[in-house]
Amino acid sequence: MPHDDEPCRCFWADQASALYLDYHDREWGRPVADDRRLFEKICLEGFQAGLSWLTILRKRENFRAAFAGFELERVAAFGDRDVGRLLADAGIVRHRGKIESTINNARRALELAGEKGSLAAYFWSFEPAPASRPRKITEAALRALTNSPESVAISKDLKKRGWSFVGPTTVYAFMQAMGLVNDHVDDCWVRDAVEDERRAFARSGLDAGPGRAAG
């Protein structure tokens, strides 16, 4: 519910955090086809497991500095010395398994981009058909919608390809954030703008190469 003269937003947007409100209003759900941003987000969703997204959001710039801006080639080249450096970095989540997963996933992502043309081409090929989506996006609907057939399919395929920390719930949160679905609730003031961006994105077609972003 809106506070005073604030517009109506999704129930999860923390009104007490300007950072979170800006993320909700300007980023979440807007379609993205930039490989670096896609890789960053799926990695950060993995780091979030067991934590709040606000915790990760507050550390996002530290993560970007620690992981070379999430540039695939640079992260893929990380070695044992980098793992030690990252474990000593208090600005990020110091979890060895998640750190090593990010490095591994960068290597797997380069293989996937080489096969499919880009990470964007791969992930957007799983965009759900409109008819498969809930007729109304409400708080109750979203609380029940922690994964989807598409997120399950992506998770299974990525795991077969050697990725880790990419369970169906993590992947669905990634899909929500990167605009593969529009899960802003029906009365959220951002929902229509996000849907307009998604339509424009669909009309423009997906560039097979990395570096293209919408929103």
Is 61 designated active site? no
Q: Which of 20, 28, 45, 122 is catalytic?
A: 45
Contacts of 205 (CB under 8 A, 6+ apart): none
122 annotated active-site: no
Distance, in Å, from the CA atom of 212 to the CA atom of 206, rounded to the nearest integer, reads 8
Phi, psi (degrees; rounded to nearest 5) at 60: -60, -45
Alpha helices (H) in the chain, listed in sequence order: 18-26, 35-48, 53-58, 60-66, 72-76, 80-87, 96-116, 119-124, 139-144, 149-160, 168-178, 191-204
Is position 20 annotated as part of the catalytic site?
no
What single DSSP character describes residue 130? G
Are the beta carbons of 44 and 105 closer than 8 angstroms? no
Q: 17: closest CA among 53, 71, 62?
A: 53
Helix, strand, or coil here: 55? helix
Q: How far apart are CA 73 and CA 172, in angstroms?
A: 25
Alpha-carbon distance 78 to 43, whole Å? Answer: 15
Q: Which residues are identified as catalytic?
A: 23, 45, 53
